[in-house]
Structure 1
Amino acid sequence: MSKIVFITGATSGFGEATAIKFAMVGYKVIITGRRRERLDALKAKLPHADILPLCFDVQNKEEVFQAIASLPQAYKNIDILVNNAGLALGLERANDAHLEDWEQMIDTNIKGLLYVTKAVLPTMVKRKTGYIFNLSSTAASWPYEGGNVYGATKAFVKQFSLNLRTDLKGTHVRVTNIEPGFSQTEFSDVRFKGDTQKAHQLYENTIPLLAEDIAQTIFTLAELPAHVNVNRIEIMPTCQSYAGLVVEKKS
């Protein structure tokens, strides 16, 4: 039987590309997100694939557990979970940032990921098989101005992934923390709240990572032998590197 992949945030970016990658090679794919029309459009784009759209908001705990509990029997034994749903909002320094932006990032990037993991994990543990991919970021390890709470949420994801891997020893359930760097998806459009001109300026004269690059990475890791676990993988485009430490001098 085909393995089952469950992907959050499959309406765009990394999630959509990952869904397409797995569907194209015969996996059964459960695509989830808040935008029903985008889920339906993705399913229509792959008419010969086995795709099940599931519309819910990861921020809503009740919706998450109800949606996963309602899965048809043929889709209940999830083999691969891709916790992709997440966002960055704003690029202001902490003293100028909007509290509601911080709260939404925490509710989505942290609490949403926890809800989905908690809903899916018991079946994996019971079956003694499964693979969880958590989408973190290089921002989890490398700070930048305006990255305050976004970076902190992704650092939580990284540490949760490592602790989850520790808790799951003996269950044969694998966990990988995916840490992409500079990438061109809808990420910046969301961060700048629809200011596409500002978002596109970030990518001028660069060759960033694309959604397909991360999808290919996840697929490659998923296809490794069952005894292999990659704990973390940090990925940057060649146009990006480390900024180094800053020393502030008196004027």
Structure 2
Amino acid sequence: MQKVVFITASSSGFGFEIALDLSKKGYSVILNGRDIDRLKSAKAKLHNQDLHHIFCCDLTTDEMPKELDDFFTKHKLLPNIIIHSLGGKVINDKHPININILNKTMDLNINSAILINNYFIPKFQANKYIQKIIHISSSASLTGNASPCYSMSKAAVNIYIKNCARYYALDNIMFCAIVPNIIMHENSDWKIKQENDPQYYKKRVDEVPLKKFATPEDLTPYISSLCEIDSMHATGSLIELQGGV
């Protein structure tokens, strides 16, 4: 059976590196992003290009559920695996907490993912084989060592996974997350901090025992292994990839 993986926010950065790694392993990848040109460029870099699809959509808009249904119905696609790579920090995420900023952050980091999962879960329940929903959380969800709304939203992701794992275990739907420390890539906040505030950047790097932040290439093998293993026993797991922190 062809393995089909839907990866949110996968036109660049961490999401794209996951897509690239899984395309090498023969997966049919559904790329997602808001910019059609970037998506086309990303698809052109994948292995076995004819296997892959592009879903151009802003997942945080009210129109997203309909666009999601239209796309997957039109193309007669059903992923076996969903990887939620969409996420990040919203501008002005600071204390005192602004409720509007909190709501925007929750939409970005968890609410859109819940809507996507809600669409696919009934379809997954109709099948007998194992299907997987993998979220990208953050060490900030455990420590609070980040902007307040971002930390809260990622902590909500963790609890959501724990709760769903219990509820859907007998449906063979595996929920889990990787919980990385800082990820360094071209479009990341930390790339900007490296350029704009090198002293603070160096201070944070020095706090990491490996003396470097993780790159997407460091972490994608862990996600690929979760996709490859035909087992439910990672369900409910928050897999910490902390680099010794």
Please report the TM-score for the alignment, with normalisation by the length of structure 2. Answer: 0.85
Equivalent position of 1:198 in the other structure: 196
Spell out, residue by residue over 1:35-85, the C-alpha distance to the aligned partner (whole angstroms, 9 max, x if none). Answer: 222111011112633210101111124323422442267652210000111
Structure 2 residue 119 is the aligned partner of structure 1 residue 119:
yes
The answer on whether the counterparts of 2:84 and 2:134 sit within 8 Å (CA) in structure 1 is: yes
Structure (1 or 2) with the greater helix fraction:
2
The alpha-carbon distance between structure 1 residues 35 and 175, as it changes in their structure 2 partners (threshold 3 A), is: same
Instruction: Report the equivalent of 2:36.
Output: 36
Aligned partners of 1:18 and 1:219 also within 8 Å: yes
2:215 is the counterpart of 1:210: yes
The question of 1:164 aligning with 2:164 is answered yes
More divergent stretch after superposition (109-118 vs 152-161): 109-118
Asked whether the 8 Å contact 1:10–1:19 carries over to 2, the reply is: yes
| CA–CA distance in structure 2, aligned partners of residues 55 and 135 of structure 1 | 20
Q: Which residue of 2 aligns with 1:87?
A: 88
- Alignment: residue pair count: 234
How much identity, in percent, do the aligned residues show?
Answer: 23
- 1:172-206 CA-partner distances (Å, limit 9, x unpaired): 1111121111210223169xxx7772376655464
State the match for 2:226 in structure 1: 221
Does residue 233 of structure 1 match 2:234?
no
User: 1:5, 1:78 within 8 Å by CA — same for their partners in 2?
Assistant: yes
Q: Contact 2:131 / 2:173 at 8 angstroms: preserved in 1?
A: yes
| More deviation, 202-211/154-163 | 202-211
Cα pair 2:165 2:174 within 8 Å, conserved: yes
Query: 1:29, 1:158 → 2: CA distance?
Result: 25
CA distance in 2, matches of 1:34, 1:137: 23
User: Aligned partners of 1:33 and 1:83: how far apart in 2?
Assistant: 12
Deviation for aligned residue 1:23? 0.8
Q: Which runs of 5+ in 1 are unaligned?
A: 242-251
How far apart are the structure 2 equivalents of 1:92 and 1:160? 22
1:209 and 1:56 map into 2 onto residues whose CA distance is 28
